[in-house]
Amino acid sequence: MNTAVLNLLACPVCHTTLVLRKQKRIGVRIISGNLYCDTCGKTFPIKNGIVCFTASHEKLERKKLKQLRQTTILQELTNRWQHLYSPRELRALKKEWNWMLTTICKEKNTIHLDFATGTGRFLRFISSYTNGELVALEHDYATCTELLYFLKKIKKYDHISIVCADACAMPFVNNAFNSVSSWHGLDEPFIQGAIQESQRVLKKHSYFIGSGIHYQKKSKSFILAKKTSILFTTKESILRFLKTAKFYSVVHKIFFVGQWNEKEDYLPIYGDFYSVYGIKAKKK
């Protein structure tokens, strides 16, 4: 974690700023230490430069780490993941990403938050664009360690800090970021909480930008998700979440309509029509 991020961190429970203890630094980077909340009495460790607010750092599965590394080597470092997309899908994705970039702050003295970062496919794209600081929020520690490996390999780690936390309980003070993004983080459960939190941690008059998928109404995926109470977003629900979180100037845009082609996925169901949407909104 870069020291520039330290002042933005807060307890995810009570939002009190945290006290850093037993730290080890290399240059502007804090490699290890403990962050202590005076109000709750809770301690959050920094491990390998990753700030940990979830318990996922306590036990790492060897098998999972191996799988993640395989994907990094075979797909991400080589950009071979692009072969998983049809030419039409890839064109739509590039349009979607470029549209998302237009709201991300790129000036040197700015700080941007990306949540549900995963192993960094979209973050890599942002990092080539912005000169500001970046914070990547991801809830799983194994994925965070892989993200760290990936960013070091592509030489993009210098201006990025990795925070392992829940997007519905962001460990940041209010009004911290110049922009907030999430590429398909809106497909995750409990997205309403993440939208509320994005609003809280954004500076005034700043943008939230995200994307996700909608199932076609009355499709098999739509019916199955409803039947099994799996949370998913419709255009109406995402607009409602943003309104509840007091966002304004909302723009909803469809980038792609097609059939799902992953046979192994539980949802969406193979062959079902779906659409990829982007959404941007401003904090008052």
- Contact residues toward Zn ion (CB under 5 A) are 11, 13-14, 16, 37, 39-40
Q: Tell me the closest approach of the beta carbon of residue 26 to Zn ion, in angstroms.
A: 28
Residues 6+ away with beta carbon under 8 Å from 38: 16, 19
DSSP 74: I
DSSP3 helix / strand / coil % (the chain, rounded to 5): 35, 30, 35
Of residues 43 and 86, the one with the C-beta less far from Zn ion: 43
Between CA 65 and CA 50 the distance in angstroms is 16
Q: Tell me the closest approach of the beta carbon of residue 16 to Zn ion, in angstroms.
A: 5
**Coil vs helix vs strand at 277:** strand
Of residues 37 and 191, the one with the C-beta less far from Zn ion: 37
Q: Tell me the closest approach of the beta carbon of residue 72 to Zn ion, in angstroms.
A: 34
Of residues 37 and 238, the one with the C-beta less far from Zn ion: 37
Q: Tell me the closest approach of the beta carbon of residue 42 to Zn ion, in angstroms.
A: 6
Between CA 230 and CA 178 the distance in angstroms is 32
Q: Tell me the closest approach of the beta carbon of residue 14 to Zn ion, in angstroms.
A: 3
Of residues 43 and 109, the one with the C-beta less far from Zn ion: 43
Of residues 37 and 165, the one with the C-beta less far from Zn ion: 37
Q: Tell me the closest approach of the beta carbon of residue 41 to Zn ion, in angstroms.
A: 8
State the number of CA atoms in the 13 A half-sphere of 20 facing the CB.
16
Could you tell me the end-to-end alpha-carbon distance of the chain, in angstroms, rounded to an integer?
30
Of residues 200 and 220, the one with the C-beta less far from Zn ion: 200
Residues 6+ away with beta carbon under 8 Å from 148: 48, 49, 50, 157, 162
